[in-house]
Amino acid sequence: MSFKNLEKKINQLFYWGDYNLSTQLANNISVVGTRQVSEYGKFLCQNLVRELAKYHCNIVSGLARGIDSIAHKTALDNDLKTIAVLGCGLKANGVGDPRLMQEIMRSPQGKNNLILSEYPDRFHAQKQNFLERNRIIAALGKLTIVVEASIVSGSLSTARHAIKQGKKVYTFAGEIGKENFAGNNMLLNAGQAEAIFSIEDFVAKLDLENKASTSTQQTSQDPILKAIPKRGIRMDDLLAKMKLSYSEISASLSLLEIEGKVEISANLIKTL
């Protein structure tokens, strides 16, 4: 992973799980917020992540208690992969939500997720470390979403890092006078974040691959593969054999060719 535009460079990284997730910038969504979460903040976070679960993406956060752990837990419950960036070593005391971390590490699917730290294994958490790790949370995501934040919330530093890195920040408008959402409103008033009015509409505009469309494509690919004999088949014959349009077959064949399952040459289609 190439971390760019970081105010403080990273000398080393320690990790557990699938490090390849750190390279999937186009699919990584950073979700942050207060530790002192309200019921409304919890509701927003859970519904946001559940909507994101309809798409191919990964949730990035700090695994702290509150919004971070709610985002991770909801992601795991909805078959999304997660990236946790710690403010201490992987084996040190002071992990924000140690039970959730152990749940991830002990789960049969745990290693499909990623836990990162720039600190050695036994390095204990210190206040400044959490602020420093926020630049990595911002760097790993294509954008940052601040769910719920007071004026003094550390998640505002993640938002500032994202802005410095040239990335967009989004947040929910909070009720006037509510301390837990004062940070959200400050970001909006300063023009540093864009407001989320509808979770469904917002997520639909993120240019993420919809799982439903992927499933439909894969469903149409299977009968096409079965219809191709070992000797190969011409496109005209395949069209006559299948009850699909030219555009549907052409799109599926393109995907199959990219996946290395078929070869198309001189209008002859062969399976590999």
pLDDT at residue 4 above 70? no
Question: What pLDDT score does 97 carry?
Answer: 78
pTM: 0.77
Mean pLDDT of 113-138: 87
Q: For the segment 118-128, what is each residue's pLDDT rounded down to a tens digit? A: 998 888 777 78
Strand arrangement, sheet containing 143-146: 14-17, 114-117, 81-85, 58-61, 28-32, 143-146, 168-171, 194-195
**Identity (one letter) of the amino acid at 220?**
S
User: Higher model confidence: residue 243 or residue 264?
Assistant: 264
User: Higher model confidence: residue 91 or residue 35?
Assistant: 35
pLDDT at residue 158 above 80? yes
Q: How far apart are CA 156 and CA 146, in angstroms?
A: 8
**What are the φ/ψ torsions at residue 153 (nearest 5 degrees)?**
-65, 140
**What are the φ/ψ torsions at residue 99 (nearest 5 degrees)?**
-65, -40
Question: What pLDDT score does 9 carry?
Answer: 76
Question: What pLDDT score does 96 carry?
Answer: 74
**Identity (one letter) of the amino acid at 132?**
E
Alpha helices in the chain (DSSP H): 39-52, 67-77, 98-106, 127-140, 155-164, 182-189, 199-204, 211-227, 235-241, 246-258
Mean pLDDT of 82-86: 95
User: Higher model confidence: residue 125 or residue 272?
Assistant: 272
Match 């030219």 to its residue by tokens. Answer: 246
Q: For the segment 72-81, what is each residue's pLDDT rounded down to a tens digit? A: 999 999 999 9
Q: How far apart are CA 169 and CA 30, in angstroms?
A: 10
Question: What pLDDT score does 252 carry?
Answer: 81
Question: What pLDDT score does 221 carry?
Answer: 67
Question: What pLDDT score does 246 carry?
Answer: 78
In sign, the C-alpha dihedral spanning 95, 22, 4, 118 is positive
Closest C-alpha to 16, from 76, 95, 105: 105
Q: For the segment 169-227, what is each residue's pLDDT rounded down to a tens digit? A: 999 999 888 999 999 999 999 999 999 999 999 999 998 988 876 555 555 567 888 88
Structure tokens at 114: 């990623």
Q: Picking from 23-32, 50-59, 203-212, which range would have the lowest pLDDT averaged per residue? A: 203-212
Q: How far apart are CA 96 and CA 35, in angstroms?
A: 9
Structure tokens at 241: 């054999």
pLDDT at residue 58 above 90? yes
Question: What pLDDT score does 185 carry?
Answer: 96
> CA dihedral in degrees (79, 81, 86, 92; nearest 10)?
70
Closest C-alpha to 64, from 89, 29, 17, 100: 100
Question: What pLDDT score does 72 carry?
Answer: 95
3-state secondary structure labels for all residues of 141-209: CCEEEECCCCCCCCHHHHHHHHHHCCCEEEECCCCCCCHHHHHHHHHHHCCCCEECCCHHHHHHCCCCC
